[in-house]
């Protein structure tokens, strides 16, 4: 029985990443499937509906594809991005009734999104989630897409996360969030990130963070690589004829004429299937190669959003296609999260690309495994070298055998620092369908103590602003100042847990249920901060100062 995933896209970033993700998934299914049939792979993320009826009844698996509707909910407190999705190339993919929008936005203020828009739209959100869940045969998990630097994504996004915990606590909550860069254009992004981290720590089952710093660096790396390949090709073309191939004239490709007896192209079936999925009219064979529908000029962050979309596409491939070792999101959470709260997974991919039809990157299978444990392929701006891994997962796509994967993991095991009581913490997923245009790919998910680097950078930026109480009055219009202190303490406690586990290889005390009431005793705060927090210092002068 297929297990469905309900995706919730919140804010501008979440909806733009979601749009890229749906486009990739549809094109991949169209490339793999040779018949326009609604199969179990599609049913995990899409509904097949009959648009001749107003209530859009769902058609069963095995029927011909009529109109696909994504199992998703669009949420944004500004109408622009959601309206562009509903009027763009993928307009028919989204159910206009499964959207929640406002007109003013949250103004880059976590408190406005969490304390104002959250309670205002809670009933509407729960009602739409209920309707989407009722259309599933076996709902597996919620996949929440949002950012942490703005107001709607961080505030309303984390409010929805906590509401899902209360409304459907038995359903897993998987979060993919984008962290702001150190030089983000939103001045208050450190506040928004720290305030959003507390619900992520306490209400999510698994979090897959990415950072704008790392994404921008990877985009520059890919652009430089492609520019080098183009320059090399141009140099070859500009060489004199007698210098090419050692003075020999390169063979000219044979020209073929199209006649009625010519065999049909292999892409004809694919064009018909993709037309059924993307609702495009297939181009006749005589018109030449079918050109994909253009989504308009490239916008800022499109390439960075494409990287995250490729991450999600590879992450969910085992749920959508067959393989010898399938791996779904619940299994990732169960196998890679040994301790509560320490559920932030660092992701890396090889090869790296951001186009819909990637160039064939010359990377050997062994080299891909070496790449994914290096900092240059991490989608989060941290350095995992020397840090302890609690668990790792490798999701391999393509015609790779389990013996090849185990051999490469055996080589990596010698280079990685693992917990002494869990040295076999490797999870493998094998999907026989490779990304379009590639022979195979590797996605690595690691639960490593290096995650504390991500939190430490944000804590320092937060303390720099909060020590001067800069911009605090914008937040206290909607919330109490104590929420700043509570959020900081929660994040700082998690940093200590990671460092404690990395250095001593002992289970952090905060991971035990009986220690929940004593979390305040394990904060990495200066003594003066403890005195102020306990009432022994000047009232209203609590300024958290991390010791790391």
Residue 161: both structure tokens together: 């996360």
Domain membership of residue 466 (yes or no) is yes
Predicted confidence band of residue 90 (pLDDT cuts 50, 70, 90): very high
Domain membership of residue 316 (yes or no) is yes
Predicted confidence band of residue 361 (pLDDT cuts 50, 70, 90): low
Both 102 and 190 in one domain: the answer is yes
Determine the Cα–Cα distance for residues 515 and 506; give it in Å rounded to an integer. 15
Which pLDDT belongs to residue 142? 97
Domain membership of residue 334 (yes or no) is yes
Both 108 and 201 in one domain: the answer is yes
Q: Give the number of domains in the chain.
A: 2
Q: 451, 469, 496 — which closes off a domain?
A: 451
> Which three-class secondary structure state does DSSP give residue 59?
coil
Residue 390: both structure tokens together: 């609690």
Q: Distances in Å between the alpha carbon of 332 and those of 11, 318, 446?
A: 26, 11, 10
User: Does residue 202 have a pLDDT over 70?
Assistant: yes
Both 126 and 35 in one domain: the answer is yes
Both 197 and 65 in one domain: the answer is yes
Task: Decide: 475 and 191 in contact? Cβ < 8 Å.
Answer: yes
**Residues sharing a CB contact under 8 Å with residue 41, sequence separation 6 or more, in sequence order:** 2, 29, 33, 320, 321, 322
Both 129 and 157 in one domain: the answer is yes
**pLDDT of 146-196, one tens digit each?**
999 999 999 999 999 999 999 999 999 999 999 999 888 899 999 999 999
Domain membership of residue 251 (yes or no) is no
Both 397 and 495 in one domain: the answer is no
> Could you tell me the CATH number of the domain that includes residue 397?
3.40.50.1440
Both 483 and 526 in one domain: the answer is yes
Q: 451, 478, 501 — which closes off a domain?
A: 451
Domain membership of residue 103 (yes or no) is yes
Q: Which of 208, 209, 76 is nearest to 152 (CA)?
A: 76
User: Does residue 289 have a pLDDT over 70?
Assistant: no
Which pLDDT belongs to residue 505? 84
The whole-model pTM stands at 0.83
With helix as H, strand as E and coil as C, how does 371-417 read?
HCCCHHHECCCCCCCCCEEEEEEEEEEECCCHHHHHHHHHHHHCCCE
User: Does residue 107 have a pLDDT over 70?
Assistant: yes
Domain membership of residue 258 (yes or no) is no
**pLDDT of 219-259, one tens digit each?**
998 888 877 766 655 544 343 344 334 444 444 444 444 43
Q: What is the mean pLDDT of residues 272-296?
A: 42
Both 486 and 385 in one domain: the answer is no
Q: What is the mean pLDDT of residues 457-476?
A: 95
Q: 451, 485, 500 — which closes off a domain?
A: 451
The parent domain of residue 505 ranges over 452-511+520-533
User: Does residue 455 have a pLDDT over 60?
Assistant: yes
Q: Distances in Å between the alpha carbon of 492 and those of 38, 363, 453, 525?
A: 48, 40, 12, 8
Q: What is the largest distance, in Å, between two alpha-carbon atoms of the chain?
A: 92
Range with lowest mean pLDDT among 296-300, 410-414, 430-434: 296-300
- Higher pLDDT residue, 355 or 294? 355
Which pLDDT belongs to residue 288? 36
């Amino acid at each position: 029985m297929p297990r469905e995933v309900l995706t919730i896209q919140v804010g501008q970033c979440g909806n733009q990443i979601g749009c890229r993700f749906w486009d990739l998934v549809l094109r991949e299914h169209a490339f793999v499937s040779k018949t326009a049939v609604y199969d179990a792979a599609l049913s995990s993320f899409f509904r097949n509906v009959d648009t001749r009826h107003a209530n859009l009844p769902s058609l069963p698996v095995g029927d011909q594809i009529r109109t696909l509707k994504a199992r998703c909910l669009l949420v944004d407190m500004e109408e622009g991005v959601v309206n562009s999705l509903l009027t763009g190339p993928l307009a028919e993919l989204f159910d206009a009734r499964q959207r929640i929008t406002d007109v003013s936005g949250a103004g880059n203020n976590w408190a406005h999104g969490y304390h104002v828009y959250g309670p205002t739209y809670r009933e509407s959100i729960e009602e739409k989630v209920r309707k989407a869940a009722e259309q599933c045969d076996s709902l597996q998990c919620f996949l929440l897409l949002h950012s942490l630097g703005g107001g709607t994504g961080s505030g309303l996004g984390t409010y929805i996360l906590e509401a899902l915990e209360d409304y459907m606590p038995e359903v897993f909550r998987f979060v993919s969030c984008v962290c702001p860069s150190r030089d983000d254009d939103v001045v208050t992004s450190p506040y928004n990130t720290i305030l959003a981290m507390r619900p992520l720590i306490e209400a999510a089952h698994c979090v897959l963070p990415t950072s704008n710093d790392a994404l921008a660096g990877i985009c520059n790396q890919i652009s430089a690589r492609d520019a080098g390949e183009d320059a090399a090709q141009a140099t070859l073309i500009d060489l004199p004829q007698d210098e090419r191939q050692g003075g020999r004239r390169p063979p000219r490709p044979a020209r073929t004429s199209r006649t009625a007896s010519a065999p049909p192209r292999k892409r004809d079936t694919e064009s018909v299937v993709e037309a059924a999925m993307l609702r495009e009219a297939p181009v006749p064979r005589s018109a030449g190669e079918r050109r994909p529908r253009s989504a308009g000029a490239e916008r800022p962050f499109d390439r960075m959003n494409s990287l995250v979309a490729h991450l999600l596409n590879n992450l969910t491939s085992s749920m959508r296609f067959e393989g010898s070792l399938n791996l779904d999101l619940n299994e990732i959470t169960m196998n890679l999260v040994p301790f509560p709260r320490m559920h932030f997974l660092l992701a890396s991919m090889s090869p790296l690309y951001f186009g819909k039809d990637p160039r064939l990157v010359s990377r050997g299978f062994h080299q891909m495994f070496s790449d994914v444990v290096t900092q240059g392929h991490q989608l989060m701006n941290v350095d995992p070298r020397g840090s302890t891994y609690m668990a790792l997962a490798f999701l391999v796509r393509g015609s790779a055998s389990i013996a090849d994967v185990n051999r490469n993991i055996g080589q990596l095991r010698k280079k990685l620092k693992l917990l002494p009581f869990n040295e076999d913490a490797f999870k493998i997923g094998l999907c026989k369908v490779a990304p379009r245009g590639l022979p195979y790919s590797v996605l690595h998910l690691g639960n490593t103590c290096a995650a504390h680097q991500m939190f430490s950078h944000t804590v320092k930026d937060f303390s720099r602003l909060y020590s001067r109480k800069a911009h605090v009055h914008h937040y206290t219009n909607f919330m109490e100042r104590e929420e700043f202190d509570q959020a900081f303490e929660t994040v700082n406690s998690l940093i200590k847990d990671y460092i404690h586990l990395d250095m001593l290889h002992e289970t952090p005390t905060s991971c035990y249920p009986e220690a929940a009431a004593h979390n305040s005793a394990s904060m990495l705060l200066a003594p003066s901060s403890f005195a102020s927090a306990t009432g022994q210092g000047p009232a209203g002068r609590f300024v958290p100062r991390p010791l790391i």
